[in-house]
Amino acid sequence: MSTSTSMSASTETSQATPVTGPVRFDTKIAVLLRDDLEPWQRLNVTAFLVSGLGTELPEVIGEPYEDANGTPYLPMFRQPVLIFEGSKEQLTTAHARALSRVLPRSVFTSDLFSTGNDRDNRAAVRAVPTGELDLVGIAVYGPRNAVDKVVKGARMHP
């Protein structure tokens, strides 16, 4: 009788039962926010940063949800999103590290607080050279150890 990582078989009943131990992921989703943002900005930036991950990386999305009445809900990330904060310099360093490791990433610059739509957001980012972006947040996804190196020195968001 074989077992998988998500199910184990009972030798008495030959029925599969869910494994209840912790799930470990070999990947990580991390968001790094600049430490001088207002609370509403932190929430807004985080939402924008992670919004593209599932469209480009479908493996980060779990199965749809359903409540006991059968009401369906959208699927969400299959793993936690870790939120960090750091200085402007730490964001610049983390961004360079993410680029050098060729990790999937998203950016939010200070200019995006003054735009009101996706077209203007993209134009604002496109107008600034990579090394001159005024980053207020980045999101990265990839192997745990690579993401850990990107956010090294940042602290968990309180």
Q: Where are the alpha helices (DSSP H) in 52-136?
A: 53-56, 88-100, 118-126
CA angle 58, 62, 63 (to 5 degrees): 115
Q: Which residue has the higher pLDDT, 4 or 20?
A: 20
Question: CA-CA distance, 58 to 12, in Å (whole number)?
Answer: 38
Chain Cα centroid distance, residue 82: 7
Q: CA dihedral in degrees (12, 17, 22, 28; nearest 10)?
A: 140
Model confidence pLDDT, tens digit, residues 115-127 = 989 999 999 999 9
Q: Which are the contacts of 96, defined by CB distance < 8 A and separation ≥ 6?
A: none
SS3 97: helix
The mean of the pLDDT values for the chain is 89
Model confidence pLDDT, tens digit, residues 61-116 = 999 999 999 999 999 999 999 999 999 999 999 999 999 999 999 999 999 999 98
Cα separations in angstroms, 135 against 37, 54, 55, 99, 129? 11, 22, 22, 14, 12
Residue 109 burial by Cβ neighbours in a 10 Å radius (0-12, 13-18, 19+): buried
Query: Can you say whether the dihedral through the CA atoms of 66, 68, 70, 71 is positive or negative?
Result: negative
Model confidence pLDDT, tens digit, residues 11-29 = 344 455 566 777 788 999 9
